[in-house]
Amino acid sequence: MLHVTIWNEYLHELQDPAIAKIYPHGIHGAIARGIAADDFDIRTATLNEPAHGLTDEVIQQTDVLIWWGHMAHDRVQDAIVEKVHDRVLNGMGLIVLHSGHESKIFKKLMGTRSGRLKWREADEKERLWVIDHAHPITAGIGEYIELPAEEMYGEAFHIPAPDELVFISWFEGGEVFRSGITFHREQGRIFYFRPGHETYPTYHNQDILRVISNAVRWAAPVPRMAPVFGNATPLEAIRGHRTA
Ligand code: ZN
């Protein structure tokens, strides 16, 4: 069983009736429903719950954390970001969606100021091209995913060079963007996935949900012994070197 926690800021849906109409149970609710599987144990957590829904117990029990945030990154408590950060380094998977590129946790893991990028809201077409055809995150996806209308994110995107480039987006207005990228941080795996502006039904799209579901499986912790550090006794005698 994979323990998945979907964290959503959950403010747009409560404040804007047009957005509530697209996501009556919140973005977290749509994703939870969309990726449901027999071997996923899914819970959700939101900003306004005590500890943002991320108590020590929840963080410890979570195998993969999904993160959507936009207008209230600064309201996420630093102490909780620290705990999530530690847990990622110890092997919890993290999937950062859309405007989560500016979340405290993503910036901390990337080591960049803001993950700055270009953006535009013009109801334009987005085509996400599969770049890594061997990557498990692209399982079951065709040559590309097409979204009829999305917000545009364009390069430059100030992040460290990703470990893997899985998708590149093209937008009708001409820009391109590294929209599906992976990073390894110590024992943790991170996937950033661009689509998902709150005014579009992106998290009802079957291909988008499939990518998120694939990413959960890819990012899940690998059961193995903890790495060993520090001064090491040689495994066999080293010639010409006297050991104490
Ligand atoms: Zn957006």
Q: Over pLDDT 90: what percentage of the chain?
A: 94
How far apart are the CA of 80 and the centre of ligand 1, in A?
Answer: 24
Provide the pLDDT for residue 162: 97
The DSSP symbol for 24 reads: T
- Is 226 a domain residue? no
Within a domain: residue 184? yes
Task: Say how many domains are in the chain.
Answer: 1
The pLDDT score that the predictor gives to residue 61 is 98
Q: Which domain CATH number covers 46?
A: 3.40.50.880
**Is residue 118 domain-resident?**
no
What CA–CA distance (Å, rounded) separates 37 from 214? Answer: 11
Q: How many Å lie between the centroid of ligand 1 and the Cα of residue 115?
A: 14
Q: Is residue 173 a part of any domain in this protein?
A: no
122 falls within a domain: no
156 within a domain of the structure (yes/no):
no
125 occurs within a structural domain? no
Residues 13-67 pLDDT 10s:
999 999 999 999 999 999 999 999 999 999 999 999 999 999 999 999 999 999 9
> Does residue 233 form part of some domain?
no
As a dihedral over the C-alpha atoms of residue 191, residue 194, residue 197, residue 202, rounded to 10 degrees, the angle is: -80
How far, in Å, CA of 73 to CA of 77, rounded?
Answer: 9
- Which pTM was predicted? 0.96
From ligand 1's centre to the CA of 231, what distance in Å? 48
Confidence grade of residue 242 (pLDDT, cut at 50, 70, 90): low
Domain that holds residue 43: 2-113+179-219
pLDDT > 70 fraction of the chain, expressed in percent and rounded? 99
Distance between CA atoms of residues 118 and 235, nearest Å: 53
